[in-house]
Amino acid sequence: MTKPKPAKTQRRARHGALWLGLWLTGMVGIAQADAPKGMLESIHRHVTLTSSVTDNGDLNPYAVVVAPVSAGTIQKDDVLVDNFNNLSNLQGTGTTIIDYRPSTKQTMLFAKLPAKLPECPGGVGLTTAMTMLKTGWIIVGSTPSTDGTTATKGDGCLIVLDPTGKMVAAWSGPTINDPWGDMGVVDNGNTATLFVSMAGFGLPGPDVIDKATGFPVIVHKATVLRLNIQIPDGKPPVLLNQTVIGEGFSARADRDNFLLGPTGLALGPDNTLYVTDGLDNIITAIPNAASRTDSAGTGKVVTQGGLLSWPLAMVYTPAGHLLVCNGKDGQLVEVDPAAGKQVYSQWIDSDQAQSPPGNGDLFGIALTPDGQGFYYVEDDMNTLVRGGK
C-alpha cells in the first residue's frame, strides 16, 4: 500500500504537473504556429529548367502538362509546354510544343503544327487548354488570330495529337469557340471527361471600347464545356457528347494579353470544378461537374479579391488546396476552397521590368509527379521553371 504524500509534496507535484502542462501547451501552440498552412510555405527554391523558344522562333509559353505515361517520343514525367506566339510575337499564332525531360535535362521539339488547318476555324494558336491522356493521346486547344488580336480571331478548335506529335483529328463546332483555360480531366483509360473554358463567344476586337471604363467592352458569354470522349484500342479519341455546365463568365479583348477570360479549371475529388474569372477577380465552384445535365451559371463563389489579381491558371494540390497564378502580378496564391480562405501567397516572379512586378508573366502551372512542387512558365523570359522545397 502506497503511503499518502505530505500536503507540500502533493502541492509541488500538482504545480509541476501544471507547469508541465502549460509548457507542453505552449510548445504545441508554437509548433502549430510554425506548421505550414499549406504547400506554398514549404517552397523555397525556384530553378529555371529550359527555354520554350523553338527553332521557328515561337515564344510566349502557355500550357504546362506533366506526362502521365511513356508513349511515342514522350517518357513518363516529361513536361510538355506549348507556345501561343510566333516569331513576330503575334498572339494566337504559336504552333509548337516542346518536351522537357527532367531525367536528362534535355529539351526536344515535340510538335510543330501548320499555321492553317482546314479542320480548325481560323488556324492554329495553341493555348493553356492542353492535356495528355493515359492512352498517350495529347489534346490541345487553339485560339487563333492572324494579326495578334481578337479582331481577326477564329473560333478555333481542339486538336488531337498522337504521342509522336502528329495531328490525327480536330474538334470544332457551335459549342467550341476559342478553347482557353487549362483543362480539368477525369481519365478512365478507355474513356475520359474533359472540362475546357470557351472564351470567344461574341468577343469583339480590342478597338471596341466601353466609354464608361475606357477599356474594351466586357461580354458575359464565356462558358465551361464538358466533353465526354471514348478511346478505342489503338485508335484516336472519339468525341461522344458535349454539355455546357457553366456560362456567363466575363471576357474581353486585350492588346497585351489577347483576351481575358475564365482560365483556371481545377477538378476536386468530389467532382467540384473550380474556375477562375480574372476580370471579376474571383474563383467559383461548379458542383457535380462530371454528372450534371444543366448549366450552373457562373457557380458558387469560393473567394474573391484579396490576394487575387486577375487569377489565371490553377491546380488542385494533394492537400485539397488550390494554387492560383496571378496575371496582374507575379504572385502565386494558395486557397483553401473548403473554408473559402486565401491562406498564403508567394512572389514567384518579381521581375521589376513590369508594373506591378511580374505583371503578365505567369500562366500555366502543373504539379510535379511527387506532388511536392510545381512547374510553371515565365512569359517574360520564355522559360519553364520548377518550384520546390
pLDDT at 353: 87
30 pLDDT more than 70: no
Domain that holds residue 327: 39-388
Kindly calculate the radius of gyration of the chain based on its CA atoms and give it in whole angstroms: 24
Domain for residue 10, yes or no?
no
Task: For 31-52, write each residue's pLDDT tens digit.
Answer: 344 566 899 999 999 999 999 9
Spatial separation of the C-alpha atoms in residues 20 and 12, rounded to whole Å = 12
Task: Specify if 101 maps to a domain.
Answer: yes
CB-CB neighbours of 175 under 10 Å: 16
CA dihedral sign of residues 358, 359, 364, 369: positive
* Range 205-229 average pLDDT: 96
Confidence of residue 326 (pLDDT cuts 50, 70, 90): very high
48: domain CATH number?
A: 2.120.10.30
The CA–CA distances, whole Å, from 259 to 161, 206, 315 equal 25, 9, 21
Within-domain flag for 3? no
Say if residue 205's pLDDT is above 70: yes
Nearest Cα to Cα of residue 334 among 326, 345, 349: 345
pLDDT tens track for 245-296: 999 999 999 999 999 999 999 999 999 999 999 999 999 999 999 999 999 9
pLDDT reported for residue 354: 86
Tell me whether residue 236 is in a domain.
Answer: yes
Q: Does the residue 24 lie in any domain?
A: no
In a domain, 22, yes or no: no
pLDDT band at 25 (very low <50, low <70, confident <90, very high): very low
Could you tell me if residue 19 is inside a domain? no
Q: What is the tens place of the pLDDT at every residue in 369-388?
A: 999 999 999 999 999 999 99
pLDDT at 20: 39
For residue 328, CA distances in Å to 152, 157, 325, 362 come to 25, 27, 9, 9
Asked whether residue 212 carries a pLDDT value surpassing 70, the answer given is yes
Residue with cell 457553366: 246
Per the structure block, which three cell numbers stand in for 83? 507556345
C-alpha to C-alpha distance for 209 and 155, rounded to whole angstroms: 22
Residue 267 CB-half CA count within 13 A: 19
The pLDDT value recorded for residue 35 is: 60
pLDDT in tens, 133-163: 999 999 999 999 999 999 999 999 999 999 9
The pLDDT tens digits of the residues spanning 219-245 come to 999 999 999 999 999 899 999 999 999
C-alpha cell at 8: 507540500
Total number of domains in the chain: 1
Q: Give me the pLDDT at residue 136, please.
A: 98
**Residue 18 pLDDT more than 90?**
no
Q: What are phi and psi of 236, to 5 degrees?
A: -65, 155
| Residue 22 scores a pLDDT above 90 | no
Average pLDDT, the chain: 92
pTM: 0.90
Q: Output 192 or 6, whichever has higher pLDDT.
A: 192
The pLDDT of residue 34 is 56
Specify the DSSP class assigned to residue 15. Answer: H
Is residue 215 in a domain?
A: yes
